[in-house]
Amino acid sequence: MKLHLIAVGHKMPAWITAGYVDYARRMPPDLPLVLAEIRPGHRAAGEDGARARQLEAERILAALPAGCVPVVLDERGAQVTTRELATWLSGWMQEGVSPAFVIGGADGLDDSVKARAGKLLGLSRLTLPHAVARVLLAEQLYRAACIIKGHPYHRD
C-alpha cells in the first residue's frame, strides 16, 4: 500500500522540503509516502480565487490514483487523534486500498474535490499555511505508522 500526498504548491522553501523529505524517508518500506505536487492555478488581481481553485481541482482530480480513498484536508474535517489516524490507516491496509491525502492551495479547495472525498480531515482548528500542513501531515503519518508497527515513537 502507498500513502499518496497530493498537494497544491511547488517551489517550497527549503525548510518545508527538508521537513517533508525527512518524514517521508522514515516511512516503513511497505508504507511509502509519495508526493505529487500540483501547480497552483493563476489568480488575476481582483479575482476571488474561484477560477484558480477550479483549475487546481482539475489537476488534483487527474492526479488521484485509481481506486484510492481521497482524504481531503479541510478545516471543517474530522479532528482525530494520532491513534485514530493510525486506525484509519490500519483499516485501509486491511482493505487493500491506498489513501490519497489532498492539501489545497492558498485559496482553498474547490467543492468538486471535497465532493470526491472519502473522508475530510482537519489537522487543526488553527489556520495553517498549506506548506506547513504538508510537513505536519507527513509527521503524523509517520507517527501513525509507528503506532501500527508497535514502535515506541508515539507516547501517550
HSE (side-chain half, CA atoms, 13 Å) at 30: 8
pTM metric for this prediction: 0.93
Euclidean distance between CA atoms 104 and 120, whole angstroms: 12
Euclidean distance between CA atoms 12 and 5, whole angstroms: 15
What pLDDT sits at residue 156? 61
Domains of the chain: 3-149 (3.40.1280.10)
Euclidean distance between CA atoms 120 and 108, whole angstroms: 13
What pLDDT sits at residue 42? 82
List Cα–Cα distances, 17 to 10, 77, 111, 135, in angstroms: 10, 25, 28, 8
pLDDT digits (tens, 9 = 90+) for 34-77: 999 999 988 777 677 889 999 999 999 999 999 999 999 998 99
Higher-pLDDT residue of 98, 129: 98
Question: Strand, coil or helix: what is 83?
Answer: helix
